[in-house]
Amino acid sequence: MSNLDQSDLRPVIQLGQGDPSAFPCFQTTSVAEDAVEVALRSNEFNGYAPTVGLFTARKAVAEYLSKDLKDHKLSPDDVYLTIGSSQAIELIISALSCPKSNILLPRPGYPMYEAHAAVSNIEVRHFDLIPEKDWEIDLDEVEDLADENTVAIVIINPGNPCGNVFKYQHLKKIAEIAKKLGILIIADEVYNHLTFGNNPFIPMGNFSSIAPVITVDSISKRWIVPGWRLGWLVTNDPQGILKKHGIIDSIIGFLNISSDPVTFIQGALPQILEKTTDFFFSKITNILRKSADVCYDSLEDIPCITCYNKPEGSMFIMVKLDVSMLEDVFDDVDFCTKMAKEESVVILPGVAVGLKNWLRISFAIEPESLLEGLGCRMKEFCKRHAKKK
């Protein structure tokens, strides 16, 4: 990316997205690279795969996810391979589309849900995540928003954009409300196991005996290979509710007419899931923990920014911007535009994820560059634009 200000020779610091694959310290494991190479050279994966995905890969996903499930086990038939979790999101939203239906989405959230709901003509109703309560869901609001046309609630855990991790009791309450409302839960768990605080990651699938759960996940974030485009949609439905309501048929119908993830990446998946070592995973979470610390400490030091939580998972933090303390910055978009122009630091205005005058910052970059971006450049920027007393 070239600098907006041509006279600024400093490198651009990209804190706007969650793709750290370009940094050497975030390189994927050789286990994954070798698995792809072997699959590619085997000559076994040059053809089309079945529309639901290769059986061996579906089986590997079922086993991988079942390790974290307490009272039910997944079967390969519960797993549908997709082009990243992005396609899994598109798939489930279109499978749920019917006249007058509505879906409950988090605010702040992940805008791809809103985009696909719009395409599928599903009405969106937003519930709030509460910053003072570690970004837990406002569950009373969920109950008030829902009606007989509500089909599902989406939860993103570990959280993008908030960097929070839901506790067991909160997840259980979400499941109980879903049961009461007669809706299904879509659990976006693409940051599963990318946790580095006090709360461990608990899959929503553990509560599927209470309400049906559809999990969306991929190798993009945990293995830091978003360009490999492999994800999955998984039905956790021990009571067969999704099948009874035709959702499974709808999912298969969608897959029959859409394109599939690359076959040799599917072929490599069993090795990737089975052979990746804990050493790799803990190396990544250790870097993220350190980056989250640097990020939090640097932001805490800036007067016009309020941090509500120290990130415990994913790669992001949401912080509140007090524009009234700044002289010539009107709102979050203006702040981000001027930061990019004057400091070559890219961050996302909160309005893009549903909260005006907040900022979403990714800390998934090398800790040194993060310190330079936030501790030096952003701090200087805020000082320079501060209102004179």
Ligand X SMILES: *Cc1c(COP(=O)(O)O)cnc(C)c1O
What are the residues binding ligand X (CB under 6 A)?
A: 18, 84-86, 110, 156, 160, 188, 190, 218, 220, 226, 231
In angstroms, give the least distance from the CB of 319 to ligand X: 18
In angstroms, give the least distance from the CB of 383 to ligand X: 32
With a CB cutoff of 8 Å and minimum separation 6, the contacts of 91 are 80, 82, 233, 251, 254, 255, 258
> Tokens representing 16?
């706007």
Report the residue number, 190 or 242, with the smaller CB distance to ligand X: 190
- Which residue, judged by CB position, is nearest to ligand X in the bound state? 84
In angstroms, give the least distance from the CB of 204 to ligand X: 14
In angstroms, give the least distance from the CB of 174 to ligand X: 17
Cα distance between residue 137 and residue 126, in whole Å:
11
In angstroms, give the least distance from the CB of 368 to ligand X: 24
Report the residue number, 190 or 299, with the smaller CB distance to ligand X: 190
64: closest CA among 182, 246, 205?
205
Report the residue number, 87 or 344, with the smaller CB distance to ligand X: 87
Cα distance between residue 43 and residue 351, in whole Å:
48
Query: Helices (DSSP H) in the chain: which residue ranges?
Result: 30-41, 55-66, 84-96, 112-119, 139-145, 168-181, 241-244, 247-256, 263-275, 278-300, 332-343, 367-370, 379-385
Report the residue number, 217 or 372, with the smaller CB distance to ligand X: 217
378: closest CA among 302, 315, 294, 307?
302
Report the residue number, 152 or 326, with the smaller CB distance to ligand X: 152
| Residue 152 phi, psi (nearest 5) | -160, 160
267: closest CA among 21, 43, 29?
43
Report the residue number, 311 or 326, with the smaller CB distance to ligand X: 311
Amino acid identity of residue 107, one-letter, is R
Report the residue number, 84 or 203, with the smaller CB distance to ligand X: 84
**Are 26 and 364 spatial neighbours (Cβ–Cβ below 8 Å)?**
yes
Chain center to CA of 11: 27
For 85-96, give one letter per residue: b (16+ CB within 10 A) or e: bbbbbbbbbbbb
In angstroms, give the least distance from the CB of 320 to ligand X: 21
Q: Are strands 150-156 and 184-188 parallel, antiparallel or unpaired?
A: parallel
In angstroms, give the least distance from the CB of 348 to ligand X: 12
Report the residue number, 323 or 351, with the smaller CB distance to ligand X: 351
In angstroms, give the least distance from the CB of 159 to ligand X: 8
